[in-house]
Amino acid sequence: MIVDAGGCVSGARFLASDNCDERPSGSVIDLLVIHNISLPPGEFGGDGIERLFLNTLDYGAHPYYQALCGLRVSAHFLVRRDGEILQFVSCSKRAWHAGLSVWRGREGCNDFSIGIELEGVDDLPYAQAQYAMLERLTRALRAVYPIVDIAGHCDIAPGRKTDPGSSFDWERFRASIAR
């Protein structure tokens, strides 16, 4: 797995989201943010996440979707339960994944981070295939960008966000990328 000069990852299925913009001049990508998402909540394998990130979600298709009406969000990547990886935004651009956020005193984490969504929920274990792909992706990104920190959405937006949740095995993940 490699990251090309345009910020796209080999092996990822690319679906271009409009929910991004240019990073501020001089931005250094040094933070990786781990999220989780499932649409509808607790259901896996559908196309709701893709449709949300591509602004094509049918808000009448599920009662929960009404709360998402007008929301414009994306992440750079989504890792599905089976390990499939989708890329929505080039790493060179600012994806709208973090919202109001602060990391080590710096506000606006979207400016200097890459966002990775794991298909999941806070309290259900993630799949082995997801950890394997997350490790591969992290290694590829670190080979190109000076990523020094990896945090959960809950760490950059405490009190507002809880993902990737208690079911994410940080010890396992950190050990896998330390080798």
Neighbours of 142 (CB within 10 A): 15
CATH 3.30.70.890 fits 13-178, yes or no: no
pTM: 0.95
Catalytic residue among 84, 107, 117, 119: 117
pLDDT exceeds 80 at position 166: yes
Can 135 be counted among the known catalytic residues?
Answer: no
Average pLDDT for 17-44: 96
Name which of 106, 122, 94, 105 is nearest 34 in CA terms: 122
Name which of 12, 20, 2, 28 is nearest 141 in CA terms: 2
User: What confidence score (pLDDT) does residue 158 get?
Assistant: 94
Beta pairing, strands 13-14 & 102-103: unpaired
- pLDDT tens-digit series, residues 128-150: 999 999 999 999 999 999 999 99
- pLDDT band for position 178 (50/70/90)? confident
